[in-house]
Amino acid sequence: MLTTSMPEPWPGPVCEKRRGSRGVLIALLIVGLITGGVLGYFFCGAVGYFPRYAELSDKIGKLEDEVSALRQQVHSLLKSAQSVPVDLTLKNESAFSWIYEEVRESVVVIKIYRMSYSFWGDSYYALYSQGSGFVYNHSGMMVIITNYHVVENAVVDGSRFTITVTFIDGEEYPARALGYDVYSDLAVLAADAPRDKLKPLVIESSSTLNVGDVVIAIGNPYGLAGSMSVGVVSALGRTLVEDQTGGYAIPNVIQTTAPLNPGNSGGPLVNLRGSVVGITTAIVSDSQGLGFAIPSNTILKEIGSLVSTGRYEGHPWMGISGVDMNYPIAKMMGVNVTYGVLITRVTPGGPADKAGIKGGTKQVYFDGRYIEVGGDIIIAIDGVKVTNFDFLVSYLEEYTVPGQTVELTVLRGGRAIDVPVTIGKRPLPTS
């Protein structure tokens, strides 16, 4: 009997096929694991779950923040720094360019036109004088600050004189005086200009100034709009007497080497942050680099009253006249004090007179003029040494108000005595 059976499979090729399939699967698995690992690495790193990547990412983020902060500090250094070394600043021309760009659109030319009449009786306006001013935001109200002497004619005779303000782009608008102070040579104007034209400057306390600080004057000398000059604060605490002050001194005036010319009056004196620290007001004829500015503290103290009432009536007054003591005067008087203020005259009925302060008793010729000697010599106020008349006037303006009682230490008859004096209010000007 013939028996048949199914042949057994050939083991060789079949086994090779299985092994090949398994290798492919293993290879695919390895590739998948590698791919998944790479993708997982980046994915986990991106979402912060991969510890090492997250740590590196945090460090990179912190570095980026520090770089950003440093960039911000460098960008705002000139604007926010308390002080900048002069030698570095003077070499950095871009610093001045930045300040000029920040300030120039806020500075205006103030023109005073006088109404005149032709031979045939026709009226017309002719340019009479001009100066400078700058825009300031006073409690949401945009005003223009300038010197009183710039707009004096228009204030005194508004029927014949008209005020206008001209911006850096040449556009000109009518303006009117809101208030003024003859004694501080300040005036505040309102301009009939569009709101977007009125770009205010920041006013900073002039108490931040030191001798040697760099300051910049921007104004319109000789009508040349937008002119800039640079200098330093050459002195502080000066007093200045102008024609319209009636003999009273403007205290705490800033002395600067920034070149000033006619037409600069009323313009801002700014620091290296672009903030107003003064308002340029006067020059000394034939001087080399000697100009003066009203301190910003005076503006900040008075502007509220000038806008709301049109006047400022808070100037302290003692009713005395005097000269600085020195060695020759001391020798003539037979005293050993060479500093302080020699009182030459006391106003009858004034605060000093009521307190018993004594004025000069005899006239002597000294240094090309006659002065009254023999009066009290003020050597201290409230325990603070009085070096000269500038110091006394500045102290009174800065630290006293009408109605306040101060203690004057005076030298009388060779001995020092204390005399209480109640400060009065300075009489208003007649103009």
Active-site residue flag, 149 = yes
**Please, is 39 exposed, middle or buried when counting C-beta atoms within 10 Å of its C-beta (0-12, 13-18, 19+)?**
exposed
Write the burial class of residue 259 (CB in 10 Å: 0-12 exposed, 13-18 middle, 19+ buried). middle
Residue from 106, 265, 296, 394 carrying the catalytic annotation = 265
Distance CA 121, CA 141 (A): 40
Strand partners, 127: 113
Collapse the DSSP code of 378 into the 3-class scheme (helix H, G, I; strand E, B; otherwise coil) and give the result: strand
- 414: amino acid identity, one letter: G
142 CB burial (10 A radius; 0-12, 13-18, 19+): middle
The DSSP annotation for 234-300 comes to EEEEEEE--GGGTTPPEEEEEEE-S---TT-TT-EEE-TTS-EEEEEEEE-TT-SS-EEEEEHHHHH
Q: Which of 149, 206, 213, 394 is catalytic?
A: 149
- Residue in the structure block whose two tokens are 């028996």: 3
C-alpha dihedral sign at 187, 190, 193, 198: positive
Say how many C-beta atoms besides its own lie within 10 A of residue 297's C-beta. Answer: 20
Is residue 376 among the annotated active site residues? no
| Residue 280 CB coordination number (10 Å) | 29
Give the torsion sign (CA, 39, 42, 48, 50). positive
| Rounded distance between C-alpha atoms, residue 235 and residue 216, angstroms | 15
Instruction: Give the active site residue among 132, 181, 185, 206.
Output: 185
Amino acid of residue 366: F
Secondary structure letter of residue 201 according to DSSP: B
Phi, psi of 389 (to 5 degrees): -65, -35
Where is 364: in which H helix or E strand?
A: strand 362-366
> What residues act catalytically?
149, 185, 265
